Amino acid sequence: MAKNAWWIEFPQMERETLVAIRKALDGAYRDFSRSYGDVIEAVFEPLLYFLVWFEKLLLNAPWWSVLFAVCALAYLASRSWKIVAGAIVAFLFIGFFGMWEDTMSTMSMIAVSTLLAIALGVPVGILMARSDRTQAVVTPLLDVMQTMPAFVYLIPVVMLLGIGKVPGLLAVVIYAIPPVIRLTNLGIRLVDREVLEASDAFGASGWQRLVGVQIPLAFPTIMAGVNQTIMMALAMVVIASMIGVQGLGQPVLRSITNQYFTLGLLNGLAIVALAIIFDRVSQAYGKRLQLQYKQAQHG
Amino acid sequence: MAEPMIRIQGLYKIFGVAGEAVLPMVRDGMGKQELLDTHGCVLGLRDINLSVPPRCIQVVMGLSGSGKSTLIRHINRLIAPTAGEVIVDGTDVAGMDGAALRDFRRHRASMVFQRFALMPHRSVRDNVAYGLTVQGLQSAEVEKRASRWIERVGLHDFADRYPGELSGGMQQRVGLGRALATDPDILLMDEAFSALDPLIRYDMQNMLLDLQTELKKTIVFITHDLDEALRIGDNVAILRDGGMVQQGRPQDIVLTPADDYVADFVKDVNRGKLVRVESIMKPGTTCASAPAIPIGTRLERAALALSEAAAKLGKVTDRDGTALGTVSQLDLLDAMVRRRRPSP
Ligand SMILES: Nc1ncnc2c1ncn2[C@@H]1O[C@H](COP(=O)(O)OP(=O)(O)OP(=O)(O)O)[C@@H](O)[C@H]1O
Ligand SMILES: [Mg+2]
């Protein structure tokens, strides 16, 4: 075939080379996942166990007790009857239209992935806040994680662990973890220097300073990060239904392939309702803390 | 004289990465501005020597940026020196390792801050208890000691409030209670009352003086308010551009300022209320009929005594009534009103 001059057509690499590279990388990753997939799966075994246990708990409990627990949590966090009333209406709607079980699956997925994101993200955020160098390394990573199309995360996870709950959970956590890391870092960096100096002056150790001053004072900001993480987890759960995650995403997926408009809309609305409840509750909680602290910032 | 509680010797602090490298130049007398222009380093302190006797209140004064906060932060090593020694009760603070330093800060020296630096997420009670919590005491013990100090600084009705709900004066009481609760030997107060209104400030000074008669701590007190310095200080040190300009008893500084900078500082002081008669008396005796002025009398009272007795001369007497020297109306007047210029 006649080749164009390099200034007319972009001088791209040989197609064969590209194929070779892709094959090599894919092959290497596949070999890796063949040989280590089982080990990695074993590592995530407890997580799966917990996830299944939690889902069963939500599914087997009578609907009114779940509703009661949700309302109690919402009230404790937000201290607002309006939000509680909203939650009741939303859950009655969900139950009445036959989406209770899918909603429970989704909720357990969100809960576990958010907990995991916090458990991993807060320490990373703390490390970032302690050193500018760590921050300089982690920040671009987070930027990539947040802009990478969510679907891309599904590929390596599926190659490694196949389809199912755990790979879904991993994909959700990877997608949703950046905000909690970012805001933990930010919150700790924003803690009043004078208060930190006071804690040093009284001989606090690094650990005492972290737990007694930095984390409590950064807490409202960390909560803002948790709020965003929950929202992103909820968005990802629908996408993760493509790799077998149970929940409200499944009927949506089915509706797309079979053109069930009403089914899709109802499940979509249920997701929206969950999102609004989670968002309002966690935001109200953060705001309440912030208010309590802010009065004290300036004498 | 007793061994000083705090002895600072040849202390230098130069902020900036090249701190150590430029030290010789500073020792050779390079000025603050020149150092900044040529090396980008800020001269914090230059050759500070200061001894604070135990159970005394040492005041440090100076204009903004003169290095007062830098100096006081060397005593508990919130700032590490570039050169020199900070010896507290025989141990060089600059040489302590991490654990020793923490122990020192937990038990021996505590600090009160200009802008209170209270912990907004802790109640008044928990703020006062902070130092004790850091020490790792049992909660019952913490509770007991904290309550005592909350009581002592007059905050027992507010123990469960948060700092944000209190006025400035009350917040600083919390700050003082927090500092005293660990029962330290040394109290470091960095412009502790500067952020308060004059009346509240006066109350707080009284409270501090009351506490001091009872507790007898070694206190380093920073202020830029001369009246406060003279009222509180047993000794006063004056800083300028990181260097020590003068130190001594308040009345010495007022009567014989070392240079124009100090003279400017003290020009508006009411010397009649501050200076004691023995510091201006002349040797010699007068006739027995001259009015007796007991040692320790302030100039204003002495002048009043002379004018009431319509006498030109008075005799200064000690406690037993023995004459020590004389003081004339003219001397009194001169000491009270003449604008002093430092002797060249
Ligand atoms: N961390 C630092 N890095 C660089 N320069 C500093 C630092 N801390 C203080 N300085 C400088 O050292 C000098 C003395 O500052 P310091 O805070 O001790 O003054 P101060 O007498 O307490 O003033 P103020 O009355 O305003 O509190 C100032 O020129 C200041 O800019
Ligand atoms: Mg200062």
Give the length of chain B: 344
pLDDT at residue A299 in the model: 37
Asked if the Cβ–Cβ distance from A296 to B133 is below 8 Å, we say: no
Using alpha carbons, list the distances in angstroms from residue A201 to A204, B20, B113: 7, 25, 10
**Cβ-proximal residues to B319 (8 Å cutoff; 6+ apart), any chain:** B294, B295
Interface of A with B in 204-223 (CB under 8 A): 204-205, 208, 212-213, 216-217
> How many CB atoms are located within 10 Å of the residue A5 CB?
7
SS3 letters for A16-27?
Answer: HHHHHHHHHHHH
pLDDT category at B174 given cuts 50, 70, 90 is very high
Asked if the Cβ–Cβ distance from B113 to A197 is below 8 Å, we say: yes
Which residues from A are below 8 Å from B167, CB to CB?
A: 299
Asked if the Cβ–Cβ distance from A203 to B78 is below 8 Å, we say: no
φ, ψ at A179 (rounded to 5°): -60, -40
> How many CB atoms are located within 10 Å of the residue B191 CB?
20
**Mean pLDDT across chain B, nearest whole number?**
90
Interface of A with B in 275-294 (CB under 8 A): 292-294
Which residues from A are below 8 Å from B113, CB to CB?
A: 194, 197-198
> How many CB atoms are located within 10 Å of the residue B139 CB?
10
CA gap A97, A264 in Å, rounded: 12
Nearest to A194 among B104, B113, B168 (CB): B113
pLDDT at residue A295 in the model: 54
pLDDT at residue B1 in the model: 54
Report H helices in chain A.
15-43, 45-60, 63-78, 81-96, 100-130, 132-147, 150-161, 165-176, 178-189, 193-201, 206-209, 215-240, 249-258, 261-297
> Counting ligands in written order, which one lies closest to the CA of residue B46?
1
Nearest to A297 among B111, B120, B165 (CB): B120
User: How far apart are the CA of B68 and the centre of ligand 2, in A?
Assistant: 6
Provide mean pLDDT across the span A88-108.
Answer: 92
This prediction's pTM: 0.85
Q: pLDDT tens digits, residue range A177-229?
A: 999 999 999 999 999 999 999 999 999 999 999 999 999 999 989 999 999 99
β partners of residue B8: B50, B86
- Say yes or no to pLDDT of A2 above 70: no
In short, whether B78's Cβ falls inside 6 Å of ligand 1 is no
CATH class for domain B272-337?
A: alpha beta
If DSSP codes are grouped into helix, strand and coil, which group holds residue A68? helix
CA gap B43, B18 in Å, rounded: 11
CB of A251 closer than 8 Å to CB of A106: no
Q: pLDDT tens digits, residue range B16-37?
A: 888 788 899 888 888 888 888 8
For chain A, the first-to-last Cα distance in angstroms comes to: 79
Which residues from B are below 8 Å from A203, CB to CB?
A: 101-107, 131, 134-135
Provide mean pLDDT across the span A115-142.
Answer: 95
Provide mean pLDDT across the span A233-243.
Answer: 88
- Say yes or no to pLDDT of B342 above 90: no
pLDDT at residue B263 in the model: 86
pLDDT category at B340 given cuts 50, 70, 90 is low
DSSP A12: P
- Residue B105 sits at the vertex; the CA angle it makes with B100 and B109, to the nearest 5 degrees, is 125
CA gap B258, B237 in Å, rounded: 11
Q: pLDDT tens digits, residue range B302-324?
A: 999 888 888 888 888 888 888 88
pLDDT at residue B162 in the model: 92
Instruction: Tell me which of B93-107, B155-169, B264-278 is least confident.
Output: B264-278
> How many CB atoms are located within 10 Å of the residue B141 CB?
11
CB of A280 closer than 8 Å to CB of A89: no
Asked if the Cβ–Cβ distance from A198 to B164 is below 8 Å, we say: no
φ, ψ at B295 (rounded to 5°): -60, 145
Q: pLDDT tens digits, residue range A158-180?
A: 888 888 888 899 899 999 999 99
Radius of gyration of chain B (CA): 23
The segment(s) of chain B belonging to CATH 3.40.50.300 are 52-84+93-270
Provide mean pLDDT across the span A65-78.
Answer: 92
The segment(s) of chain B belonging to CATH 3.10.580.10 are 272-337
* CATH fold of the domain at A45-297: MetI-like fold (1.10.3720)
Greatest Cα pair distance, chain A, in angstroms, is 79
pLDDT at residue B207 in the model: 94
pLDDT at residue B206 in the model: 94
pLDDT at residue A178 in the model: 96
Provide mean pLDDT across the span A232-253.
Answer: 88
User: Considering only alpha carbons, which residue of chain B is nearest residue A289?
Assistant: B121
If DSSP codes are grouped into helix, strand and coil, which group holds residue A7? coil
DSSP B116: -
DSSP A181-198: HHHHHHHHHTS-HHHHHH
User: How far apart are the CA of A202 and the centre of ligand 2, in A?
Assistant: 19
**Mean pLDDT across chain A, nearest whole number?**
89
Provide mean pLDDT across the span A260-285.
Answer: 90
pLDDT at residue A198 in the model: 97
CA gap A180, A189 in Å, rounded: 14
- Say yes or no to pLDDT of B128 above 90: yes
If DSSP codes are grouped into helix, strand and coil, which group holds residue B82? coil
pLDDT at residue B336 in the model: 84
pLDDT category at B52 given cuts 50, 70, 90 is very high
If DSSP codes are grouped into helix, strand and coil, which group holds residue B338? coil
Domain boundaries B52-84+93-270, corresponding CATH code: 3.40.50.300
User: Considering only alpha carbons, which residue of chain B is nearest residue A299?
Assistant: B168
Which residues from A are below 8 Å from B76, CB to CB?
A: 201
pLDDT at residue B191 in the model: 94
Which residues from A are below 8 Å from B195, CB to CB?
A: 299
Task: Return the domain boundaries, chain A.
Answer: 14-43, 45-297
- Say yes or no to pLDDT of A281 above 60: yes
Q: Which residue has the higher pLDDT, A46 or B1?
A: A46
Asked if the Cβ–Cβ distance from A198 to B111 is below 8 Å, we say: yes
Task: Name the residue at shortest CA distance from atom 17 of ligand 1.
Answer: B69
- Those residues whose beta carbon sits under 5 angstroms from the ion ligand 2 are B 69
Provide mean pLDDT across the span A227-246.
Answer: 89
